[in-house]
Structure 1
Amino acid sequence: MDPQTTHLLYLHGFRSSPRSTKARIVADRVARRHPNLQWWCPQLPPSPHDAIDMVMKGIAHWPRKSMAVVGSSLGGYYATYVAGMTRCRAVLLNPAVHPARDLMLYIGDQTAWHDPAEHFYFRPEYIHELRAMEVGPLTRPERVFAIIAKGDEALDWHEMSARYPDSNIKLLEGGDHALSDFEKAHLDDVMAFINPV
């Protein structure tokens, strides 16, 4: 039996931020019902290498057995890396599976979803950084819970499902990339899997 989660990391997606709807929903649930749970949702830099370096340094002293990570989209790819390195519990929300391929279309100037005035440059070398983070099959697939929407307009649900064959998968018949019904339909399942104090 796994110990209850004491530390929770949330990783947002590409062009997103800790102000994303899902990040704020989880943060609010943690604040209201799990005030003793250590919560961290950092603003990730555009460089995948810098993002994962910051994350791994930030969780270096977290207890591996009682930490968990939630990742959305590109954050789901990062969360898979974190789970591969730490074997912690992970919840993946429409996780990116082949970002090195998919994000080649986005090389150049980008704007942030939550503040169009905020720009960043997605560099060609970031594609190589993403490739370097591929972790292969997970050693503890049962510690992963993926929510995958067949209606995802950005990512292929077949690829997402195939990436986590031995994990717990909640496959939605419709839905969208943002999981617009996240709070009403999925938040309780996420928190139950994380099993926070």
Structure 2
Amino acid sequence: MILYLHGFRSSPSSAKAVMLGRALRERGHGGEWHCPQLPASPAQAIALCDALIDLHHDGGKNGPLTLMGSSLGGYYATCLAEKRQCRAVVLNPVVHAARDLATQVGEHTQYHSDAPFVFLPEHVDELARMAVGRPADPKRYFLLAATGDEVLDWREMAQWYAGSHGRIIQGSDHGISDFEQWMPEVLRFVLEPQYRS
């Protein structure tokens, strides 16, 4: 099972999610791919992910569980990977979610639609409660961090995920608009046997 978790105010229609889903289908892994729309509530988002994993992951008989997450989705993926002891790909992940998302309390719209997105003060508390420490086994992670990220500090990401697979991209941006260039490395981590625990 490959579970992708999008970022704050984003959706399964994000460029990275669409590219990854297409690439995995082309490689015969479409049945393993799951990319849900996450609710604004972090607690509800994690509960949804737990339910999907319990429903679709068969304990590894048909392959390992791999989580993927971008920005806030990277934070969620890390929380779940530490709980489930599985691998995770994190793309410009939020490291200190309660601190960084506290400034986003209020009403927004989603990036890929005009639907409202309301982020409440209690959602910041939920992020704080679900926090985990640095990865217990960094080798289970693949970090893609861009020095040109205009939202988050790539140095915090590099320090938090020290010892992981992946790379620091010189330049780029928070959305990793050049993701297609780096996607083959991500897919190798997800699909090739030497990375599988």
Q: How does 1:177-192 map to 2 (within 5 A)?
A: 177-183=174-180, 185-192=181-188
Give the match for residue 131 of structure 2.
134
Structure 2: distance between partners of 1:88 and 1:140: 10
- Establish whether residue 21 from structure 1 lines up as the match of residue 19 from structure 2: no
Give the match for residue 4 of structure 1.
none
**Are 2:38 and 2:45, in contact at CA under 8 Å, matched by a contact in 1?**
yes
Q: How does 1:10-159 map to 2 (within 5 A)?
A: 10-35=4-29, 37-61=31-55, 62=57, 63=59, 66-115=64-113, 117-159=114-156
Q: Deviations over 1:135-179 (max 9, x none)?
A: 112222101010000000000011111111121240111111111
Q: Deviations over 1:96-148 (max 9, x none)?
A: 11121111111110110011x21021100000100111111222210101000
How far apart are residue 36 of structure 1 and its match?
Answer: 5.7
- Residue 136 of structure 1 aligns to which amino acid in structure 2? G
Structure 2: distance between partners of 1:189 and 1:40: 20
CA RMSD of aligned residues (A): 1.5
Structure ranking higher in helix proportion:
2
Structure ranking higher in strand proportion:
1
Structure 1: distance between partners of 2:141 and 2:81: 8
Aligned residue pairs total 189
Tell me which stretches of 4 or more aligned residues in structure 1 moved more than 6 Å: none
Structure 1: distance between partners of 2:16 and 2:6: 9
Structure 1: distance between partners of 2:192 and 2:42: 28
Structure 1: distance between partners of 2:41 and 2:115: 16
TM-score (norm. length: structure 2): 0.91
Structure 2: distance between partners of 1:178 and 1:121: 21
Structure 2 unaligned residues grouped into runs of 5+? none
Structure 1: distance between partners of 2:30 and 2:112: 29
**Are 2:21 and 2:30, in contact at CA under 8 Å, matched by a contact in 1?**
no
Structure 1 unaligned residues grouped into runs of 5+? 1-6
- Establish whether residue 194 from structure 1 lines up as the match of residue 166 from structure 2: no
Matched residue SS, 2:89: strand
Greater RCO (CA < 8 Å, at least 6 residues apart): 1
Structure 1: distance between partners of 2:11 and 2:43: 17
Structure 1: distance between partners of 2:108 and 2:152: 19
Matched residue SS, 2:68: strand
